[in-house]
Amino acid sequence: MLTYIAKRLLMLIPVLVGVSIIAFLLIHLIPGDPAQVILGERATPEALEKLREELGLNDPLYIQYFRFARNVLRGDLGRSVISHEPVAAELAERFPATIELTIAAMLIAIVIGVAAGVISAVKQYSWFDNLSMTGALVGVSMPIFWLALMLIWIFSNLLGWFPPSARLSHTVDIPVVTNFVVIDSLLAGDMQALKDGLWHLVLPAIALGTIPMAIIARMTRSSMLEVMRQDYIRTARAKGLKENLVIFKHALKNALLPVITVMGLQFGILLGGAVMTETIFSWPGVGRYMYNAIMARDFPAVQGGILVIAVVFVLVNLATDILYTFLDPRIKFD
């Protein structure tokens, strides 16, 4: 197992190098002079030259890349053109909010998606199967921004059940230790703050988790149906095992293998796709940070955000591959 993990880590090196090249070239794919794009048409020649020097745009491209790669290895992602603060520090400050939202969205997607998929497969062509698969089709087709706006309008404006934005109410104040509201609330022993933080998580997590929930539900159903037609399932039933034991011990474990791949991919996609959700719900995470950076043409911030999200995406896929080997010992590194 350790050899397998070591080889998978080595395979990440060329992937991460490719990701760094793409993130680096982003600023150079802009038509025209990047400094002109950042400062606008009315910028003076002196200001343009100062920004080119600041960004290192006057050096040959390969030198710029190696300088960028060296700084990345040191944890330096450059400075924001707008705030003049280190991009790495700004991303680190916002990353817990995005991780917290993404985990909450994935928990909703996995719990509801897997349950709906299993029940639909067991009760194939029943009213529940038809209803859940129709709901999954609607969910996977629904634009996130429209769903988010509808959730705010119905559950916040009309019913007043959930807050429309932010991570905590203005009246709640907890000491910041990890920047995860849930963890900091528990560390402070403040159950009111924990309840308030979870309450603020509900609407954005549902909005972000709807599409992966629909995908997981459909994937789980089709995978379960395929497994339940296998000979070993018929054998298990012929031996007189209880139906729940056949479904949850023999069928579900094997049916989850392709579903786990989808979960890993969806987790990475959610990290990158949180831009719209965080912007609508005023969630202070990396997605909203990148949206503001794009609007302000703060390319070092966009470059750093893309690089960080891509690295996390790669690491999540590595974790998925390792989890695969635990669930199915037949899978070996080849």
SS3 126: coil
Q: What is the pLDDT of residues 7-52, one digit of tens each?
A: 777 878 888 888 888 888 876 666 666 677 667 777 788 887 887 7
Strand partners, 86: 79
Question: What pTM value is reported for the model?
Answer: 0.81
Q: At 112, is the pLDDT very low, low, confident or very high (cuts 50, 70, 90)?
A: very high
Quick one: tokens of 318?
């590595």
The DSSP string of 237-286 is HHTT--HHHIIIIIIHHHHHHHHHHHHHHHHHHHHHHHHHHHHHTT--SH
Going from N- to C-terminal start, the domains of the chain cover: 91-289
In whole angstroms, give the CA distance from residue 285 to residue 291: 10
pLDDT digits (tens, 9 = 90+) for 53-81: 777 777 888 888 888 888 888 888 888 87
pLDDT, one tens digit per residue, over 142-199 is 888 888 899 999 999 999 999 888 888 888 888 888 888 888 888 888 888 889 889 9
> Residue 297 is which amino acid?
R
User: Letter for the amino acid at 159?
Assistant: L
In angstroms, rounded to a whole number, what is the distance separating the alpha carbons of residues 220 and 65? 43
With CA atoms as reference, report the closest residue to 222 among 110, 322, 113. Answer: 113
Report the distance separating Cα 260 and Cα 316, nearest Å: 11
Banded model confidence at residue 329, pLDDT cuts 50, 70, 90: low
Q: Interior CA angle at 305 toward 47 and 264, to 5°?
A: 165
pLDDT tens figures, 282-313:
888 888 888 888 877 777 888 888 888 888 88
| CATH architecture, domain defined by 91-289 | Orthogonal Bundle (1.10)
The least confident of 145-149, 187-191, 214-218, 238-242 is 238-242
pLDDT at 332 over 60: no
